Amino acid sequence: MKSIKIQLNENDIPRRWYNLAADLPTPMLPPLGPDGNPVSPDMLAPVFPMNLIEQEVSTDRWIDIPEEILNILYRWRPTPLRRAVYLEKHLKTPARIYYKDESVSPPGSHKPNTAVAQAWYNKQFGIKKLTTETGAGQWGSALAFACNLIGLECKVFMVRISFDQKPFRKMMMGTWGATCVASPSTETNAGRKILAEIPDTPGSLGMAISEAIEEAVTDPSGKTRYSLGSVLNHVLLHQTIIGLEAKKQLKIAGEKLPDIVIGCAGGGSNFAGLSFPFVADKINGADIKIIPVEPTACPTMTRAPFAYDFGDTACTTPLLAMHTLGHAFVPPPIHAGGLRYHGMAPLVCQAIVEGLLEPRAYHQLRSYEAAITWARTEGFIPAPETSQALAAVIEEAEKAKEEGKEKVILVNYSGHGLMDLLGYDAYLSGQLTDYELPEEELQKYTRDLENLPKAEMRKTGKW
Ligand SMILES: Cc1ncc(COP(=O)(O)O)c(C=O)c1O
């Protein structure tokens, strides 16, 4: 039988991260400060350590991965590339479907790839404590895991609705020694202000980010920094180890380049991690369809304008040029908690503007249907976020069947769903519904963007 688990050993692990900023045909627009001028690295210093700020602004194509970081990643990396032969057979598709299995990390997703790197760089810089936000808890548990191994204190502000509905990730954070509080909380000015205005708010990532940043910058010792699990350039950079491994593994499997690359996108990090090394191939002439997938309930890439906006509800972050539903957007409580952010990574957005990516949105029920098909063929139970990507995989595999083409499809299996079974229960008992963001809501939340600097859509027109 042909190998369906393509493994690399420790010696094959990539030793450099890939930075798409070096190769984008049109450079990204800079982050802006409150005065409308580009922010300088110094202005970010109260929030992030300087070694990570250097990565954030770097346009070097390759950045070395420190040996000590690799030594931690070896616990689960390189991750397997698996061929979904059981799904292929079920769909009777001529497509060959490969999935990069990031669910094998201790916290169960791709998130520790950057959590470990960020904790390591903060430690090197003399930082003692990290604060962060988390939606459904994947990122919070990944940072808790990393801080424990590296010897940093960790405090996580978890979006209220998930804190109440998904207690298991909170318990994981506690197991790894972190503190987790529901956001909005009474522990910060930002949280108290939101609670005074909307006492029964389900919370949002934007609110939790405001709280986590406030807690970091107000520490009088100066030894606390903030850590973000997605969106920023350095986070996406750390995730490119996924795509670099996958490239080597596809070669071992006897494939050249994939025809189609797919990932779900909340803030953009797992999608970018898998796809950016292939975006580089596309820039250099390869014919690859690259699809970031999002829910119709939070249609950032498919319906929102490309504009300058804040990353958080309290407007404390620099302005980022991105597709955005507006910083005040409160997403509906869909189960893919990690896909409910109002913005999207500026690097991903610039690649969309350039025409290199083809974003797509699916309804919640469609993605659960895909997840059930996956679980009943491949066997693994995917995270609700990952299921969005699997809906696109099934659609593309069916299209390949109609066209009679042997397409190679590569997807990021960003996490397992074993902590998210309540969503499956709701789906199986018929309680889940679809939700499409109404146009009036989109207009309402994006109205504030008119008062912010405009983001020019620059592109070469080549794609
Ligand atoms: C399993 C999983 N996949 C995907 C995402 C989306 O995040 P990102 O777009 O940064 O990869 C999350 C976020 O929490 C997640 O937990």
Transcribe 132-177 into DSSP letters.
Answer: EEESSSHHHHHHHHHHHHHT-EEEEEEEHHHHHH-HHHHHHHHHTT
pLDDT in tens, 163-172: 988 889 999 9
Q: How far apart are CA 269 and CA 252, in angstroms?
A: 25
Mutate to test the pocket of ligand 1, among 204, 230, 342 (most ligand atoms within 8 A of CB): 230
CB of 419 within 6 A of ligand 1: the answer is: no
Q: What is the mean pLDDT of residues 37-45?
A: 94
**pLDDT tens digits, one per residue of 107-151:** 999 999 999 999 999 999 999 999 999 988 999 999 999 999 999
CB 317 near ligand 1, within 6 Å = no
Q: Which atom of ligand 1 is nearest to the CA of 339?
A: 6
- Asked if residues 119 and 127 have their Cβ atoms less than 8 Å apart, the reply is no
pLDDT, average across residues 324-332:
89
Residue 336 binned pLDDT confidence (cut-offs 50, 70, 90): confident
Distance CA 432, CA 72 (A): 39
In the prediction, which pLDDT does 71 show? 98
> How would residue 313 be classed by pLDDT, with cut points 50, 70 and 90?
confident
| pLDDT value for 15 | 98
Place 34 in a pLDDT band, splitting at 50, 70 and 90: confident
> What's the distance, CA 22 to chain centroid?
21
Q: Please, what's the b/e burial string for 351-384 (b: 16 or more CB within 10 A of its CB; e: otherwise)?
A: bbbbebbebbbbbbebbbbbbbbbbebbebbbbb
For residues 308-331, give the mean pLDDT: 92
pLDDT digits (tens, 9 = 90+) for 182-213: 999 999 999 999 999 999 998 988 899 999 99
What value does the mean pLDDT take over residues 9-33? 97
Does residue 343's CB lie within 6 angstroms of at least one atom of ligand 1? no
CA distance linking residue 340 with residue 136, whole number of Å: 10
What is the distance between the alpha carbons of residues 73 and 79, in angstroms, rounded to a whole number?
10
Give the per-residue pLDDT at 339.
86
**What pLDDT is attached to residue 416?**
97
Q: Is 390 a residue whose pLDDT tops 90?
A: yes
pLDDT digits (tens, 9 = 90+) for 217-275: 999 999 999 999 999 999 999 999 999 999 999 999 999 999 999 999 999 999 999 99
Are the beta carbons of 208 and 158 closer than 8 angstroms? yes
Ligand 1 in reach of 295 Cβ (< 6 A): no
Provide the 8-state DSSP code for 298: S
pLDDT for position 388 = 97
What is the CA(14)–ligand 1 centre distance, in A?
22
For all residues of the chain together, what is the average pLDDT? 96
Q: What angle do CA 37, 60, 222 make, to 5 degrees?
A: 55
- The response to whether residue 384 sits with its C-beta less than 6 Å from ligand 1 reads no
